Amino acid sequence: MKILIIGGGGREHAIAWKAAQSPRVEKLYCAPGNAGIASVAECVNIPVMDFAAQVKFAKEKEIDLVVVAPDDPLAAGAVDAFEASGIRAFGPRKNAAILEGSKAFSKDLMKKYGIPTAAYETFDTPEAALKYLETAPVPIVLKADGLALGKGVLICKTREEAREGVKTLMLDRQFGSAGDRIVIEQFMTGREVSVLTFVDGRTIRVMTSAQDHKRAKDGDQGLNTGGMGTFSPSPFYTAEIDAYCREHIYQPTVDAMRAEGREFKGVIFFGLMLTADGPKVLEYNARFGDPETQVVLPRMKNDIVDVFEACIDGTLDQIDLQFDDNAAVCVVLASDGYPEHYEKGFPITGLDAFDGKAGCYVFHAGSKFDADGEIVTNGGRVLGVTALGDTLKEARKNAYAATEWITFANKYMRHDIGKAIDEA
């Protein structure tokens, strides 16, 4: 089979690495890819939003399957564009990707179908939002309705911060039209867990759990980022919680989307909060999480190509999804200053230390080849260093040891990824 993966970050590197292990894959392409992905796939310089060029390329190369990984092209109808040209594509169509693309849609869906989530109100004008905030309890959460590079959620401790947040989203339009409508919701407390699932429209298969670390600095301080590290499984996601979520959250979400005429095929990523009142949905994503994918896929036993095809064909009920009984930790190596101002273009050394080291992986998030063919930094998040272990503690030790193998100027990482493990 010939497969084209759309995207160019750590998530796509992990997907490409996993797909490359399938004996069914004869050739892998990635658009646009990065310097790490180039070790397992041929990278083609087509931007993620250029559907016309992607379709043309897929036809020319007789691609059998396209995997659309990032949120923006999914929400804009990338899968529909491939299907319209008779090319099989993994991921939700535009009418289903709205599950992530509109926070107001997903909150209304949960309310309508009784799926546990925080209480909320939706606002189309700053005046109405500000009036609501006069009496709303704080802390409170503001969410831009549309996609905002994962940065459209503001947790406001005070009423003043919330008023500022309305200004940022709706008046200053920091995230453009994504903030023209906002959701204001009750602040929930508890442990966050990420659960990725495969869905074929009717059947849902649950992957292993993970936990992300979104803040830039140790102790969950600093600004929100795309994710500074992850671990899997979450020791707080017990069998009892899993059973509750399958019955009250996962299958009801799939059924609700079908009932709405928005059959979902692809990955639903459930962002959960384990509250004192039980698990509740913080957010849905209509795609693999990043960096969650970097700890989940190394633990997955199945051939991922079989699973992709089962999602498309509606035969996921025939797949026995299995994960190793081990653990993984991913530490993101970033450029100092991320997520604000940071420099790029520094040579990365030590990557070959991973060659032949079983259970240690380096997934590239922001790297490229310079004019001399050397691998250099090319983003805020540069690399995801993942290691396996029999236990979470062992995986964490292995991952931090492997971060030392890599050097580049302005290398920055958190030192407490997976520290919560100690409290389990």
Question: Under a CB-based contact definition with an 8 Å cutoff, are residues 103 and 97 in contact?
Answer: no
d(CA 342, CA 332): 15
Q: Does 384 bind ligand GLY (CB under 6 A)?
A: no
Q: Does 290 bind ligand GLY (CB under 6 A)?
A: yes
Q: Name the token pair of 423.
A: 């409290």
Could you tell me how many residues of this chain bind ligand GLY (CB under 6 A)?
7
- Candidate segments 286-294, 327-335, 355-363, 366-374, binder of ligand GLY by CB under 6 A: 286-294
Report which residue type is found at 419: K
**Cis amide bond preceding 347, omega within 30:** no
Residue from 64, 185, 200, 212 touching ligand GLY (CB under 6 A): that is 212
Binding mask 112-151 for ligand GLY (x = CB under 6 A): --------------------------------------x-
**Least spacing, CB of residue 226 vs ligand GLY, in Å:** 7
Task: Map residue 146 onto helix, strand or coil.
Answer: coil
**Which of 269/408 has CB closer to ligand GLY?**
269
Helix (H) or strand (E) holding 284: strand 278-285
**Which of 63/274 has CB closer to ligand GLY?**
274
**Least spacing, CB of residue 183 vs ligand GLY, in Å:** 17
Residue 56 makes CB contacts below 8 A (sequence gap 6+) with: none
Cβ-count burial 175-213 (b if 16+ within 10 Å, e if not): beebbbbbbbbeebebbbbbbbbbbbbebbbbbbbbbbb
Question: Under a CB-based contact definition with an 8 Å cutoff, are residues 328 and 232 in contact?
Answer: yes
d(CA 121, CA 382): 37
Q: Name the token pair of 31.
A: 């658009």
What one-character DSSP code corresponds to residue 411?
A: E
- Candidate segments 26-34, 84-92, 235-243, 288-296, binder of ligand GLY by CB under 6 A: 288-296
Q: Does 292 bind ligand GLY (CB under 6 A)?
A: yes
d(CA 219, CA 414): 9
Q: Does 339 bind ligand GLY (CB under 6 A)?
A: no
Residue from 197, 285, 326, 398 touching ligand GLY (CB under 6 A): that is 285
- Candidate segments 56-64, 285-293, 332-340, 388-396, binder of ligand GLY by CB under 6 A: 285-293
Binding mask 224-263 for ligand GLY (x = CB under 6 A): ---x------------------------------------
Residue 350 makes CB contacts below 8 A (sequence gap 6+) with: 405, 406, 407
Helix (H) or strand (E) holding 122: strand 120-123
- Candidate segments 195-203, 283-291, 300-308, 324-332, binder of ligand GLY by CB under 6 A: 283-291
**Least spacing, CB of residue 13 vs ligand GLY, in Å:** 14
Q: Does 8 bind ligand GLY (CB under 6 A)?
A: no
**Which of 58/96 has CB closer to ligand GLY?**
96
Report which residue type is found at 327: A
Interaction site with ligand GLY (CB under 6 A): 150, 212, 227, 285, 289-290, 292
